[in-house]
């Protein structure tokens, strides 16, 4: 077996980190972002360091689709950028990755770097080789994976996340926790991804509740922001698991924010994965330990871990089932075979620690439907 660990992205962090953009003041810069960043003026935190030659594409919507990649590419095709900047949550970062790839396929591959500046603490997309692109007609989200999607540079400045609304902060924070736990138990986990995942679990468990209590707590925000990036480094090496495999399909079908969908699925999938295998229980027990939970056996550690995640969800206002969220469960019944196939084929399902059958997925869907 060969496992790979590399972090090709240069990471700059801290309250002055954005100032390194000053070195690109003479470049033509393509900025990919969403309308909120422009309306709120947050984009000026970036543009103040650039010269006059920048062009902004601000039409990214949550869960970007192929049409957004086409529109974005069309915006920049005659501009001939020398640098791409992605500013926003995972949706803007993934859209920028896709727009740069589409631009390269149109113009021929060039060495135009991408600087990713996350404004949520969630996806870790600033360091991953993933871009999740939706097909709204088929109601499917595709996790694309390629080294070509990796950003050359990431800038982590927690000032940019201070304005994230509480519910989005909790959803995205639970996405970070899911990345770390899935990376830790993944079939391709390794010592390097383990170290990052353990630290992420510790940081999110300690500081996300502090962000919930006081969203203006800058220290807690900065810890969760760094954790988000570390979790990205972990899972871009190890892969993810069935929570993400199911969340991509269910999130696309019911239009549920990615982190919320993961948070709802996480306890159910942990119970499923750990049911028949003490080694998997042992791996989850290490996740419980990273949260500071002490148990006398692997079995009770898993029970404590699941209870702790359910408690966090309850505190953050994240419901247990699709029905409790107000989803029309009939949608699931109508397309059950397609939903099951799409979950089984999702790239993230391939690295789940327990092999998954169509019957398993059907049973898990019953549980999450509620």
Ligand X SMILES: NC(=O)c1ccc[n+]([C@@H]2O[C@H](COP(=O)([O-])OP(=O)(O)OC[C@H]3O[C@@H](n4cnc5c(N)ncnc54)[C@H](O)[C@@H]3O)[C@@H](O)[C@H]2O)c1
Using CB under 6 A, list all residues that contact ligand X.
34, 36, 62-63, 88-92, 94, 119-120, 122-125, 128, 130-132, 160-161, 163-164, 168, 172, 175, 258-259
Q: Under the criterion CB under 5 A, does residue 175 sit at the interface with Fe ion?
A: yes
Residue 122 or 267 with smaller CB distance to ligand X: 122
Which one of ligand X, Fe ion, none is in contact with 163 (Cβ closer than 5 to 8 A by kind)?
ligand X
Residue 228 or 274 with smaller CB distance to ligand X: 228
Q: Under the criterion CB under 5 A, does residue 182 sit at the interface with Fe ion?
A: no
Contacts of residue 315, Cβ cutoff 8 Å, sequence gap at least 6: 209, 212
Rounded least distance, CB 99 to Fe ion, Å = 20
Q: Please answer whether residues 256 and 325 qualify as being in contact, where contact means their C-beta atoms are separated by less than 8 angstroms.
A: yes
Residue 50 or 160 with smaller CB distance to ligand X: 160
Rounded least distance, CB 49 to Fe ion, Å = 30
Q: Under the criterion CB under 5 A, does residue 63 sit at the interface with Fe ion?
A: no
Q: Under the criterion CB under 5 A, does residue 58 sit at the interface with Fe ion?
A: no
- In whole angstroms, what is the distance from residue 71 CA to residue 231 CA? 31
Rounded least distance, CB 301 to ligand X, Å = 26
Residue 81 or 98 with smaller CB distance to Fe ion: 98
DSSP H helices in the chain: 35-39, 44-47, 66-76, 90-107, 166-185, 191-213, 218-238, 242-254, 258-273, 278-290, 298-315, 322-325, 330-334, 336-345, 358-369
- In whole angstroms, what is the distance from residue 114 CA to residue 27 CA? 13
Residue 69 or 301 with smaller CB distance to ligand X: 69
Which one of ligand X, Fe ion, none is in contact with 172 (Cβ closer than 5 to 8 A by kind)?
ligand X
Number of residues that bind Fe ion (CB under 5 A): 1
Rounded least distance, CB 89 to ligand X, Å = 2
Residue 63 or 194 with smaller CB distance to ligand X: 63
CB nearest Fe ion: which residue? 175
Cα distances (Å, whole numbers) of residue 369 to 139, 206, 249, 332: 18, 30, 13, 8
- In whole angstroms, what is the distance from residue 317 CA to residue 311 CA? 10
- In whole angstroms, what is the distance from residue 281 CA to residue 292 CA? 16
Which one of Fe ion, ligand X, none is in contact with 94 (Cβ closer than 5 to 8 A by kind)?
ligand X
Please say whether the dihedral angle defined by the alpha carbons of residues 114, 18, 47 and 118, taken in this order, is positive or negative: positive
Q: Which tokens in the block code for residue 51?
A: 């010269």
- In whole angstroms, what is the distance from residue 123 CA to residue 91 CA? 9
Rounded least distance, CB 235 to ligand X, Å = 8
Positions that interact with Fe ion (CB under 5 A): 175
């Amino acid at each position: 077996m060969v496992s790979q660990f590399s972090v090709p992205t240069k990471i700059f962090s801290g309250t002055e980190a954005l100032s390194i953009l000053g070195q690109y003041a003479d470049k033509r810069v393509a900025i990919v972002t969403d309308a909120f960043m422009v309306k709120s003026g947050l984009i000026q935190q970036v543009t103040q360091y650039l010269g006059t030659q920048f062009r902004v594409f601000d039409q990214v919507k949550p869960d970007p689709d192929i049409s957004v990649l086409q529109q974005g590419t069309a915006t920049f095709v005659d501009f001939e950028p020398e640098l791409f900047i992605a500013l926003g949550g995972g949706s803007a970062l993934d859209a920028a990755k896709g727009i740069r790839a589409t631009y390269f396929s149109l113009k021929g591959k060039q060495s135009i770097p991408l600087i990713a500046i996350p404004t949520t603490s969630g996806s870790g997309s600033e360091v991953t080789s993933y871009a999740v692109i939706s097909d709204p007609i088929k109601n499917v989200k595709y996790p694309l994976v390629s080294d070509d999607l990796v950003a050359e540079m990431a800038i982590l400045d927690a000032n940019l996340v201070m304005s994230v609304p509480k519910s989005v902060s909790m959803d995205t924070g639970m996405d970070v926790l899911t990345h770390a736990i899935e990376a830790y138990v993944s079939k391709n986990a390794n010592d390097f991804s383990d170290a990052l995942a353990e630290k992420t679990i510790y940081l999110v468990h300690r500081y996300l509740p502090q962000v919930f209590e006081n969203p203006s707590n800058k220290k807690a925000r900065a810890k969760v922001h760094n954790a988000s990036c570390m979790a990205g480094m972990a899972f871009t090496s190890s892969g993810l698991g069935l929570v993400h495999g199911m969340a991509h399909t269910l999130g696309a079908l019911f239009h549920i924010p990615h982190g919320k969908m993961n948070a709802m699925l996480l306890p159910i999938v942990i119970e499923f994965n750990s049911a028949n295998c003490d080694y998997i229980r042992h791996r989850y027990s290490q996740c419980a330990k990273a949260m500071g939970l002490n148990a006398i056996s692997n079995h009770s550690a898993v029970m404590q871990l699941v209870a702790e995640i359910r408690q966090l969800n309850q505190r953050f206002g994240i419901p247990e089932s699709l029905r409790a969220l107000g989803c029309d469960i009939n949608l699931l019944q109508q397309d059950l075979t397609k939903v099951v196939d799409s979950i089984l084929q999702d790239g993230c399902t391939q690295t789940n620690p327990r092999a998954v059958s169509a019957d398993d997925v059907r049973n898990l869907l019953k549980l999450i439907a509620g």
